[in-house]
Chain A
Amino acid sequence: MTPNPLALIAEITHRCPLHCVYCSNPLEMAAASSELSTEKWIDVFQQAGNLGMLHAHLTGGEPLARPDLTELIAGARAAGLYTNLITSGIGLAEMRLKALVDAGLDHIQVSFQDSREDSANWIAGAKAHAHKIELSQLIRRHKIAFTVNLVIHRQNIDHLDEMISFIEQLGPERMEIANTQYYGWALKNRAALLPTRLQLDKAMEAVAAAEKRLDGRIRVDFVVPDYYARLPKACMGGWGRRLMLINPAGKVLPCHAAEVIPGLQFENVREQSLENIWQHSPSFQRFRGEEWMPEPCRSCDQRTQDFGGCRCQALLLTGNVEATDPACTLAPAHHIVEAALAEANSTTAVSQPTSASSFVQLQRAENLWTYRTNPD
């Protein structure tokens, strides 16, 4: 028997008013017409609770795009789950926030794209920044946990100090400073997003100083950029070891990006129980344990810590899903990551808008990146 999963990631819709250039959604998104019903999601939360899961992370797309979000939060809470809403905040005003809190929302995580309005809107491809600030003030009137998430990359990392001070003023319990992870949209836009070594070193200093200064007041979580790491990340805490992700159409995946792996069939909660999928799905079993591992992973001391790194990244960068994650300095294919870093460090193109050039103008004038599109 495989130990129980700990948390459910519920991607309740892929619809989103933002178009962030590093969105973690797949390039092929689930159509609005394929989305699970309210009743089915509530049933899924019940199954998750019975399976011993502790947390439900409701995410998207933008989860607020679902008019039944309050019912879904209530359903997850009734199933005994700790409820976390991961949101841009667009579509949330006072009444709805109160309804969500009354329904049992435990934690809200609001993403910001930058501290500077022009740049934030440029990265999101939408005018969202000012609303997020207003919303943060509303959130602080409720007794729920509040996390501010900020994705950092080549275009905003140079003023991380300023961004940390900005978040501090919003008064969350936590800030998550996350380096971009290169899958889907972010991989497409990698050249515009991958920071230089110098940028990263400065950012790490800013984070270390903030951790010290804010200790006991705001917890600072830093997501390391794996391209610059010595060892790969234990993606999702290991394939099929801790988490289950359900996409808007009910497909059950071990991680956000798993659908890029050819040859894997993913079961659907419309047809099978979560427990059955967790215990018996060939896709969930595919990279559990160490049987599948190649060298150097198979005989490496780190294999119980990083589980060979990320399978999706291995596939996307090498074409071989069983390869050691190329982010690892011991990987035979590490030269692929080194080549990307060499390119990132040989140019200095930072294209942040000034107040004179709005993000709309920049979007038209430059082919710097591709904005995330919306599903049908």
Chain B
Amino acid sequence: MSPPEDTSQPRLAAGCRWGGTEEARVILFPEGAIKLQGTGRQVLERCDGQRTFGEIIVELQSQFADADPAKIRADISQFLEQLRHKRIVDY
């Protein structure tokens, strides 16, 4: 399996969806749920199948201008790859 490319359009995999409350948002999937806070939630809220991976990176790099842009890219790439491995995200 390869990491997302700049033109990939990440989205939630079939049958995975948001749940929980506004304060405690979770992603529900067949075997369980993951609580999403902070940056993880910011990333997944942008995985709408419309935005490209490249666009998501740029948005978050400008939002977190203090952080190292290369690290933001690497972290988000790894995060999405892990979620694809679990079949929660497709790209």
- Residue positions of A touching B, CB distance < 8 A: 6, 54-55, 80, 82, 84, 106-107, 109, 143-147, 173-174, 215-219, 221
**Residues from 7 to 63 in B contacting A, C-beta threshold 8 Å:** 13-17, 19, 26, 28-33
Give CA–CA (A13, B33) in the complex, Å. 27
CB distance from B4 to the nearest CB of A (A): 11
With the chains together, A8 CA to B17 CA distance in Å?
19
A106 engages B33 (CB within 8 Å): no
Q: A219 near B87 (CB under 8 angstroms)?
A: yes
Distance of A218 Cα from B31 Cα, bound (Å): 14
B15: chain A residues at CB < 8 Å are 106-107, 143-146, 173
Tell me whether B86 and A219 are in contact (CB under 8 A): yes
- Chain B interface, number of residues (Cβ within 8 angstroms): 19
Interchain CA distance A147-B33 in the complex, whole Å: 17
B-chain residues with CB within 8 Å of residue A6 when the two chains form the complex: 32
Contact B30 A147 (CB under 8 A): yes
Q: Specify which chain B residues have a CB less than 8 angstroms from the CB of A144 in the assembled complex.
A: 14-15
B15 closest partner in A (C-beta) = A145
Contact status A215-B85, CB under 8 Å: yes
Residues from chain A with Cβ under 8 Å of B26 in the complex:
54
Residues of B with C-beta under 8 A to A55: 28, 32-33
Check A82 against B19 for contact (C-beta < 8 Å): yes
Alpha-carbon distance between A145 and B16 when the two chains are bound, in angstroms: 7
* Contact call B13/A145, Cβ cutoff below 8 A: yes
B65 cross-chain contacts in A, Cβ below 8 A: none
What residues on B are CB-neighbors of A82 within 8 Å? 17, 19, 28-30, 33
Known: A173-B14, A215-B85, A219-B87. A145 touches B19 (CB 8 A): no
Q: Complex formed: what's the CA distance from A145 to B33 in Å?
A: 14
Q: In the complex, what distance in Å separates the CA atom of A105 from the CA atom of B26?
A: 18
Beyond A144-B14, A144-B15, A216-B1, whether A84 also contacts B30 by CB under 8 A is yes
Known: A106-B15, A215-B85. A145 touches B30 (CB 8 A): yes
Q: How far is the CA of A144 from the CA of B17 in the complex (A)?
A: 10
B14 and A145: CB pair below 8 A? yes
Residues on A with C-beta less than 8 A from B13 are 145, 173
Q: Are B1 and A106 in contact (CB under 8 A)?
A: no
Q: Which residue of A lies closest to B29 (CB)?
A: A145
| Chain A residue, CB-CB nearest to B91 | A216
Minimum distance in angstroms from A221 CB to a CB of chain B = 8
Distance of B27 from chain A, by nearest CB (Å): 10
With A143-B14, A145-B13, A216-B84 as contacts: A107 and B19 at CB distance below 8 Å = no
Give the residues in chain B near A106, CB-CB below 8 Å.
Answer: 15, 17, 28, 30
Q: Tell me the bound Cα distance from A373 to B83 in angstroms.
A: 42
Q: How far is the CA of A221 from the CA of B30 in the complex (A)?
A: 12
Q: Assess whether A215 is in contact with B17, with CB atoms less than 8 Å apart.
A: no
